[in-house]
Amino acid sequence: MLSKDFFLALEDLEKEKGIPQEQFIEMLEIALAAANKRQTGEISGVKIKLIPEKKTIKFYATREVVEEVTEPGKQISLADAKEIKKSYKVGDIIANEIMPTKDFGRIAAQTAKQVIMQRMKEIEKANMLNEFEDKEGELLTCVVRKIDDVNVYVEMGANQMEGVLLQKDQVPGEKYELNQKIKVFVKRVKNTGKSTQVLVSRTSTGLVKRLFENEVPEIRQGIVQIKSIAREAGQRTKIAIYSEDPQIDPIGTCVGPKGVRVNAVVSELGGEKIDIIPWSENPLEFIAKALSPAKVLKVFALEEENSARAIVPDDKLSLAIGRDGQNARLAVKLTGWKIDVKSESSVATEETEE
């Protein structure tokens, strides 16, 4: 601990781990006090003075001047203190430089290492929590560091925090490689007590929202609003947008010149299809738009709350429903309404029978 390397280590700890030197000195004081207790059975105050220019450290045993001693290792009576120096008074701290014995140095090194490592872990954990506690719901670029049979582990932030991409948060069919840079959505920062775990996602609708915010300045500025998003990751996303400014074309704004903005999002999502839908405060009108790219002839509300029927041309029925019902299913998620999609001829037949 008394070598020149110690001072270099202090600088490295502050630079790489984000641990201020002052905090490290506090750790050393605790460690040395613990080492002293282990050797003598008493807890005495230990102060450390660094002399960087000489690359040396001085150790001091400290005792507080009191009227009556209740903690012998930490206190000295006023009468005894005055024998050392007449000007001492109650409350003063007497510091005596100590030269650790070889035995004390060995015990101190062992004990200090244990205490310091523990405190370093605590401080690193606190630093990571401080860095990531406000990152929930944010978009981060990270690096893939480990892949097992189920999960993908990524590294992010200045403190190289580990994030976990669980299987359910991975896009089906998407392949990940070591050292690959990917963008993820921070779902949750979980403090388990022993460690901090950051859960990230590639399947969340939040990822799509943040990607559009990155690509479309008007969304970041609030000129264009994202009202809702429905997504089946890796296949298709529907995003409903709106602008209170009649001079703004929200769809054109999100698509961008020659499709550059939406294409950037599609590229980041691995080619996932994106339908940009104009939002409407009229739910029936919104439902008609949500079934895009199919043309809808009419939408009317049913007796059941938030339930509607959409009528489409016969040749557009399969398009409105989509493969395996995906288009209709996403429209339901986007609007929050149950939607019964019917062809024009089937509705006419029902009416005739009635």
Render 58-113 in DSSP notation, one character per residue: EEEEEEEEESS-S-TTTEEEHHHHHHH-TT--TT-EEEEEE---HHHHHHHHHHHH
What CATH architecture is 204-279?
2-Layer Sandwich (3.30)
Task: Give 139-196's CATH code, choosing from 1.10.287, 2.40.50, 1.10.10, 1.25.40.
Answer: 2.40.50
CB atoms within 10 A of CB 153: 16
Mean pLDDT over the full length of the chain: 85
- pLDDT computed for residue 4 by the predictor: 63
H helical segments located in the chain: 4-12, 21-40, 78-84, 102-132, 205-215, 217-220, 250-255, 260-268, 283-290, 317-321, 326-335, 344-353
| Whether the domain at 4-132 and the domain at 282-354 fall into the same CATH topology | no
Which CATH number is 282-354 given?
3.30.300.20
- pLDDT computed for residue 105 by the predictor: 57
Cα gap 157→170, rounded to integer Å: 20
Rounded-to-10 torsion of CA 192, 198, 199, 200: 180
Nearest alpha-carbon partner for 289 in 244, 253, 323, 241: 241
- Range with the poorest average pLDDT among 70-84, 181-195, 225-239: 181-195
98 or 7, higher pLDDT: 98
pLDDT higher than threshold 60 for residue 191:
yes
Average pLDDT over residues 143-165: 87
Average pLDDT over residues 7-36: 68
Average pLDDT over residues 8-21: 69
Name residue 223's amino acid.
I
| Domain boundaries, given as residue ranges, for the chain | 4-132, 139-196, 204-279, 282-354
Place of tokens 């641990």: 19
Quick: pLDDT tens for 294-344. 999 999 999 899 999 999 999 999 999 999 999 999 999 999 999 999 999
Average pLDDT over residues 159-178: 90
- pLDDT computed for residue 279 by the predictor: 97
Cα–Cα distance list, 51 to 20, 21, 107, 108 (Å): 17, 13, 23, 20
Task: Give 4-132's CATH code, choosing from 3.40.640.10, 3.40.50.970, 2.60.40.10, 3.30.1480.10.
Answer: 3.30.1480.10
Which one-letter DSSP state was computed for residue 199? E
